[in-house]
């Protein structure tokens, strides 16, 4: 059995992210031809036994001309109005095309606050699992019509990575208008080389990531690198390739597509669901500072943080909140779910439970994406 066949047999749940430029015409409207080709490839995966969820951009791009705008709008109200038109058009097209192949598509619109609220987070996961288990194809997008700037994901690259982690996907496929990750911007540097495999996101890779070159999309290479950080920290193999490439999806899951594979080393540390929520979704509410011995204990010896380890408490938070953890030198160590309120810690009113248990602690170097919180 070839490596490609072995990988294909192992990968059963796939999240596919489709960018705006991969779906729309030069006039900014939905390209029926592009959409049909992508749907046909997704159907091929479904027929081969894969569970597929689609994170699809394109709502604003599809709707702004029907709103009466000549160019893509720049103000938030116009973007949201365009999305309210375009999302319906986008979903109608997906539903019709998938039904013609015998598959049912569903619509899920998500905001960042859906991830930060633990109850809604669990509800999303349960809903998606039911849909996937029953052969439905979820079409997921950010709820642009109601989301305010401070609660936006910013682009669907980040959303696709968070969805992939949420549903324990085996692989994340990000389709774009570029055919992989390069050592530099290939549009500006003819000597830039495409990386076929990436095992870790290095500072050099981050430095090479630029802005968006698309007039209809919001996510550039920088946002894709942030997405791959989340996926890799969650133990999910990922791929970046060009949307218009024939058979790109099937080739990608079989390990033979032209593009960049972001692969997980066998001995790599992966965050579990609790740690993923703490690291990527929680929204820390305060800070605690611990002594150097406690820092070494929780990182190296996996010993919980106790009351006597704390040298300072900043902010107001309740029991069960997620807080940022610093050492005596003000260096940020990571995040943790705290067992006591800030008042209880200040008053030293604690019981037998540790302040932060080891399984509720996430070391910053383990998830590599502290800035995405």
- Asked whether the predicted pLDDT for residue 219 surpasses 50, the reply is no
Tens digit of each residue's pLDDT (9 = 90 or more) over 2-53: 444 434 455 699 999 998 888 877 776 778 899 999 999 999 999 999 999 9
The model's pTM: 0.84
* Residue 368 pLDDT > 70: no
Kindly tell me if the per-residue pLDDT of 134 is higher than 50: yes
Q: Where are the domains of the chain?
A: 3-270, 282-372
Which among 231, 239, 246 is positioned nearest to 197, based on CA atoms? 239
At residue 367, the pLDDT reads 63
**Burial (CB count within 10 angstroms: exposed 0-12, middle 13-18, buried 19+), residue 107:** middle
* 302 Cβ neighbours under 8 A, 6+ residues apart: 358
Residue 337: strand pairing partners: 322
196-200, 213-217, 306-310, range with the lowest pLDDT: 213-217
Tell me the pLDDT tens digit for each residue of 53-100. 999 988 888 888 888 888 888 888 888 898 889 888 899 999 999 999
Question: What are the phi and psi torsion angles at 232 (to 5°)?
Answer: -65, -40
Residues 15 and 22 sit within 8 Å (Cβ to Cβ) = no
**Can you read off the two tokens belonging to residue 273?**
């669901």
What confidence score (pLDDT) does residue 8 get?
Answer: 43
Q: 368 in the Ramachandran plot: left (φ > 0), alpha (ψ -120 to 50) or beta?
A: left
Closest by CA to 22, choosing from 245, 244, 257, is 244
Q: Are 53 and 108 in contact, with CB atoms under 8 Å apart?
A: no
With contact defined as beta carbons under 8 Å apart, do 322 and 337 qualify? yes
Please check whether the domain covering 3-270 is classified as CATH 3.40.50.720: no
Q: For residue 45, with 0-12 CB atoms within 10 Å meaning exposed, 13-18 middle and 19 or more buried, which class applies? A: buried
| Paired tokens of 316 | 């107001």
Q: pLDDT digit string (tens) for 94-105?
A: 999 999 999 999
What's the CATH fold of domain 282-372? 2.30.130
The span from the CA of 198 to the CA of 261, in Å, is 6
Q: Is 251 helix (H, G, I), strand (E, B) or coil?
A: helix
190 DSSP 8-state letter = T
Statement: residue 370 has pLDDT above 70: no
Whether 355 shows a pLDDT value over 80: the answer reads yes
Q: Rounded to an integer, what distance in angstroms lies between the CA atom of residue 19 and that of residue 34? A: 12
Condensed to tens digits (0 to 9), the pLDDT of residues 177-191 reads 888 998 887 778 888
């Amino acid at each position: 059995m070839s490596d490609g066949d072995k990988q294909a047999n192992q990968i059963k749940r796939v999240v596919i992210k489709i960018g705006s430029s991969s779906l729309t015409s030069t006039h900014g409207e939905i390209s029926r031809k592009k959409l049909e080709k992508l749907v046909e490839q997704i159907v091929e995966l479904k027929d081969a036994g894969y569970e597929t969820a689609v994170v699809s951009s394109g709502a604003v791009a599809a709707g702004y001309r029907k709103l009466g705008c000549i160019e893509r709008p720049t103000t938030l109200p116009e973007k949201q109005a365009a999305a309210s038109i375009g999302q319906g058009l986008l979903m109608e097209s997906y539903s019709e095309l998938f039904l013609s192949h015998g598959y049912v598509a569903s619509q899920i619109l998500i905001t960042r606050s859906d991830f930060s609220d633990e109850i809604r987070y669990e509800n999303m996961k349960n809903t998606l699992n039911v849909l996937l288990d029953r052969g439905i194809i979820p079409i997921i997008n950010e709820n642009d019509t109601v989301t305010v700037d401070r609660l936006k994901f910013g682009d669907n690259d980040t959303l696709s990575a968070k969805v992939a982690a949420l549903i324990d996907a085996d692989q994340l496929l990000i389709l774009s208008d570029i055919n992989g990750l390069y050592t530099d911007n290939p549009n500006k540097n003819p000597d830039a080389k495409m990386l076929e495999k990436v095992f870790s996101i290095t500072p050099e890779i981050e430095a090479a990531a630029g802005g968006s070159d698309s007039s209809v999309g919001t996510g550039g290479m920088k946002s894709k690198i942030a997405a791959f950080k989340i996926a890799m920290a969650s133990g999910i193999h990922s791929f970046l390739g060009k949307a218009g490439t024939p058979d790109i999806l099937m080739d990608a899951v079989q390990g033979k597509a032209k593009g960049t594979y972001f692969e997980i080393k066998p001995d790599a540390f992966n965050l579990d669901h609790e740690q993923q929520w703490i690291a990527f979704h929680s929204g820390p509410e305060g800070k605690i500072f611990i002594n150097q011995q406690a820092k070494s204990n929780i990182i190296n010896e996996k010993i919980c943080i106790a009351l006597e380890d704390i040298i300072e408490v900043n902010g107001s938070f309740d029991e069960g909140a997620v807080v940022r953890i610093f050492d005596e030198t003000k260096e940020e160590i990571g995040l943790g779910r705290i067992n006591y309120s800030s008042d209880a810690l200040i008053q030293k009113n604690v019981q037998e439970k540790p302040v932060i248990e080891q399984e509720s602690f996430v070391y910053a170097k383990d998830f590599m994406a502290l800035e995405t919180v």
